[in-house]
Structure 1
Amino acid sequence: MRSTLLLSLAFGLATSSPLEKRQKIEFKSVAAAAESVIATLPAAALGPTNVGVVATTQPPATSAYNLPSAVSKATSSITVANSPNVSLAPTTIPGNAKSAAAKRDIEERDASSAAATTTSCAQYTGKGPVVASTVISDWVKDPILTAAATDAPTPTGYVQAFSNLPGSLQMMGYLTVKSLDSYDTAKCADYCNNEPLCMGFDVYYERDPGANTTCSLPDKNPPSITFIGCTLYGFHVNGTLATNTGQWRDNFQVAITASNGYNKIGVKHPDIYNNIPGFYPPVELGNASIDALFWPPAVFQDKDALGRSKLYTYMGMRSLQQPYDPRVCASICSQQTATNAAHPDTNADGTQTYRPCNFFTAYVLAKNDIPVGLQCAFYMLPWNTTYATNTGYYDYPHWPNQDVSNHYTIYNSLAFTASTFGTDKADFGRNDTLKTAYLADPNAWQLS
């Protein structure tokens, strides 16, 4: 019943550059595949475009993130994975993936799509200053609007990521949008602080129609209002992704200005991660992930000094293009254990074993400071913070020329250990010493 590990987006050991340890995860392949997936995400998953309608007709604005749905999607492809796979193939980019530019080109949308979200001839009001200019370039630069961005204070506990851009964010990890009564960065920070998954936010002015354009006859170009948006994201925000500069709604042109982005400072995890069923509260690894494979550890070799096979503890990983939420990783780990236990391997001596997932790490992988997803890495045994040594690397595509580089980094890294280890038929790679120690006191493996 042995099968290869089918956790999607699994990656392994790749040819290294002089600046990359061979044992490190092949971030370049993971990031490339993740970016292609992000490029095919529906626009609604990247941020709001009909902001005035969404934020004012759905009070309080509802989150675009749904945990049960995320878990269901992430665990739907789990299959039996009882055989150690020591040569996991690097991720490949889907051949049918659309380009990010094509997917994020808001101007290409159907002009009626935004208005179609409401069927009434509703009137809308905005709390921001109304600038009457119909020349959009003048509206975007109007000092009445831009001064709010340049003068805005940075909220306590946050660092400013970008300032006064003519576009709002369109990035993975969108949670929700709130309507503000004034250009108030502290109020938006309050919303972010009260949303457990929020890591960063965007405040901006948006030029919106004062009425449903489809009902604004005969020209379908109603007077403008100025909406003040506060959008929350489950990843740190980056101004490079402030690409929503507006769109046409019939004959009305939406525009955005005074866009400021802010990120929470440091590694923070909400209390919801302290109570994940089946796992101890997490240990913070900061900006590093675990860099270990075999037990006993020592060196990255599959044999010990006496030539005996070591236990390959790594069980693969998943890269998920959704808000950062380790609860999804935990569900994958638990279900992988249950699936493997229900279909144990039959060994040559007639014994049956399976590979339990007893430890996982959850972190954000970023390429050049742009997040490319939630990463979940799974192991049979826990590793302590001594092995949290993988902090990313610089990749030089034209090595040995150092003219262009990509910087892969890790943040919000958390490690979780199973609170109860399955002992019946657990596969220890026929390592009797390890098995004896494990069965004598499973809780001794808890990471601390």
Structure 2
Amino acid sequence: MRSTLLLSLAFGLAASSPLEKRQKIAFQSVAAAAESVIATLPAAALGPTNVGVVATTQAPATSAYNLPSAISKATSSITVANSPNTSLAPTSLPANAKSAAKRELEQRDSAAASSTSCATYTGKGPVVTSSPSAWINDPALTSAATNAPVPTGYVQADGFQNLKGSLQMMGYLTVKSLDTYDTQACANYCDNEPLCMGFDIYYERDPAANTTCSPGKNPDSITFIGCTLYGFHVNASLATNTGQWRDNFQVVITASNGYNKVGVKHPGIYDNIPGFSKPVELGNASIDALFWPPAVFDSVDATGNNKLYTYMGMRSLQQPYDARVCASICSAQTAANKNSPDKQTGTYMPCNFFTAYVLAKNDVPVGLQCAFYMLPWNTTYATNTGYYDYPNWPKQDVSNHYTIYNSMAFTASSFAQGTADFGNNNTLAGSYWTNPNAFHSS
């Protein structure tokens, strides 16, 4: 599964305008590339398709997310980059990746239907014996969704009530089986999962027995109550799993409600990341870094030797939000650069600061963003809150809105000198640079 997108790491100024002194992130390009990756993710990374079987045969249901595996995947593509004019090209995608993902989804469903195990299943939801088309509108089911209370600490996602499909989106963590349609019970599961930002609760019409062992391959139905947890905010537009056929049995879904955690911070789990300080919360903004020092930038020579672009680039990861993965990339990049310094100067580019945040396009998350810097910046520079773009400019009838949430900043506990003399490190406090005058080019 390709779940990591490597975006251009612009370590130099070659592509920057002489008048552009701040870091600029082309969110349109980030989102477009991330969406291409998301389209190729296998079904297992988006949510369970055989929900009743998965949730009732795993006690408790195991998480689809594994931190060591995520770190291994994210750091496997680290490339040494110490030249001011070096950039790493975006990861290419195989031309048949999208069709491969579709085949995997079909194969998963086919495998479930053709299993030789004659297991039987029981559901905890209301017994509704009507046809699938009538089942999805039965008041015994839909009334639970329309009357469900919003759990404490959550908000209902816009338009995410009583839908006929469950979520299929990146950031899938796990699925739980509920005894009743209880939004608070599902929220409790989310609260106990540190990476959970939102959840989907719904009824699913499942077969009471394996279809291959049933007369006509169409067994009686049960009603399963699903609670799926995600590492991003959920969005109604992604409730696209409307069911499937398992032989002659039709799986359908109804009463699908989505809720998002308010003020997600993941308190505690990022306080002791090896090599980094406790995070500073940036809220709904990312860092808009300057070239440093500004005075040097204005008088830079033709070769660019007397300028430093502290922004080292970014990575977009299509996995649950986890700042620990960003930290691992930052540390791995420093180690790789240090082990292969510039042959002429003996210097290297250290990663001493990074931010982790969610980028969303029209409220739909496109991934965990990790932005890396040689120099830490304080909250004064957390001014990038996203923006609108108009694809049909100058006609402004349609726009895309790029937003940021759950943004955090981390500073290396022990600064690597690399290409720069950071002066008196005692001037560092918390996770920001307090005395810029102590910094100068080496």
**Residue equivalent to 1:280:** 277
**2:141 alignment counterpart:** 145
Q: Does 2:207 correspond to 1:209?
A: yes
Equivalent residue number for residue 161 of structure 2: 163
Q: Which residue of 2 aligns with 1:359?
A: 353
Unpaired runs of 5+ in structure 1? Answer: 1-6, 429-434
Identity %: 75
The answer to whether structure 1 residue 393 and structure 2 residue 392 are counterparts is: no
Q: Structure 1 residue 444 and structure 2 residue 425: aligned?
A: no
* 1:133-154 Cα deviation digits (max 9, x unpaired): 12x2211111110000000000
Amino acid at match of 1:397: P
Q: What is the CA distance between 1:385 and its match in structure 2?
A: 0.5
How far, CA to CA, are the matches of 1:23 and 1:421 in structure 2? 22
Match of 1:9 in 2: 7
- Deviation string 1:360-413 (CA, Å, 9 cap, x unpaired) is 000011111000101101000101111111111111011010011111111111
Whole-angstrom distance in 1 between the partners of 2:294 and 2:285: 18
Helix, strand or coil at the partner of 1:272: coil
Describe the shift of the 1:40–1:214 C-alpha distance in structure 2 as closer, same or farther (beyond 3 A). Answer: same
SS of 1:208 mapped into structure 2: strand
Aligned residue for 2:257?
260
User: 1:78 and 1:97 mapped to 2: Cα distance?
Assistant: 25
Q: Is 1:96 aligned to residue 88 of structure 2?
A: no
Structure 2 CA distance for aligned equivalents of residues 337 and 309 of structure 1: 21
1:315 Cα deviation after fit: 1.0
Give the secondary structure class of the aligned counterpart of 2:204. strand
Q: Does the 8 Å contact 2:321/2:367 carry over to 1?
A: yes
Map residues 109-128 of structure 1 onto 2, 5 A cutoff: 111-115=109-113, 119-128=116-125
Alpha-carbon offset, residue 163 of structure 1: 0.5
Q: How far off its partner does 1:89 sit? A: 8.3
Q: CA contact under 8 A between 1:55 and 1:177: conserved in structure 2?
A: yes
Alignment of 1:20-419 (within 5 A): 23-85=23-85, 94=93, 96=95, 111-115=109-113, 119-134=116-131, 136-161=132-157, 162-216=160-214, 218-297=215-294, 302-304=297-299, 309-347=306-344, 351-419=345-413
The 1:248–1:109 alpha-carbon spacing in structure 2 relative to 1, beyond 3 Å, is: farther
For 1:408 and 1:104, the matched residues in 2 are separated by 28
State the number of aligned residues: 419
Residues 32-63 of structure 1 deviation map (CA, whole Å, 9 limit, x = unaligned)? 11001010100111001111111011100000
266-275 vs 185-194, greater mean Cα deviation = 266-275
- The structural deviation recorded for 1:270 is 2.8
Deviations 1:147-180 (A, max 9, x none): 0000000001000011000000000000000000
Say which SS state the counterpart of residue 352 (structure 1) adopts. coil
Give 1:95 shift: 6.5
Quote the offset at 1:81 in angstroms.
1.1
Q: Secondary structure of the residue that 2:313 maps to in structure 1?
A: strand
Q: Is the 8 A contact 1:126 1:228 kept in 2?
A: yes
Q: For residues 227-271 of structure 1, what are the alpha-carbon distances to aligned partners after superposition, in whole Å with 9 as ceiling and x for unaligned?
A: 000000000000100000000011100000000000001242231
Match of 2:419 in 1: 427
Aligned to 1:52, what secondary structure does the other structure show? helix
Question: CA 1:228–1:353 in 2, change beyond 3 Å: closer, same or farther?
Answer: same
Moved more, 89-98 or 149-158: 89-98
Unaligned 5+ runs, structure 2: 433-442
Task: Give the SS at the match of 2:256.
Answer: strand
Counterpart amino acid of 2:407?
A: S
CA drift of 1:130 comes to 1.2
Aligned-partner SS, 2:29 = helix
TM-score, scaled relative to structure 2 = 0.88
TM-score, L = length of structure 1: 0.87
In 2: Cα distance, 1:45 partner to 1:416 partner: 28
